[in-house]
Amino acid sequence: MFEQAQGRDGLVFLDAALLIQAGMHKKVDEVWLVTADLETRIRRVMQRDGLTHDEVLQRICAQMSDEEMRRYADEVIENNGTLEQLHKKIGELLRQRGYVR
């Protein structure tokens, strides 16, 4: 259900697609929602899982909407770019919040 990674300075990151739906958001200090526009998400899942456009769209429609998840998020990170750009955004947020130097 989720991946856990121990960060520097005692930070723990959970990569959990169903964190909110499973009610686990109540057990963490903060929720950072990483999202992307619909076509980017569809393309990425098609490439990763070998599914058709319609199969991916069906999966997405069965999930909680971004609008609903945003209500639980302390931070929303738009991830329409590269992995390096995502890492940079996360690093900036960690520094802004004083978690890392």
Q: Dump pLDDT digits (tens) for 88-98.
A: 999 999 999 98
Q: Dump pLDDT digits (tens) for 40-59.
A: 999 999 999 999 999 999 99
Q: Reduced to 3 states, what is the DSSP secondary structure of residue 13?
A: strand
The pTM score is: 0.83
Residue 93 DSSP label: H
Integer Cα distance of 62 and 78 in angstroms: 21
Integer Cα distance of 94 and 90 in angstroms: 6
Residue range 70-75: mean pLDDT, rounded: 97
All structural domains of the chain, each given as residue ranges with its CATH number in brackets, are 3-93 (3.40.50.300)
Residues 6+ apart with CB under 8 A from 26: none
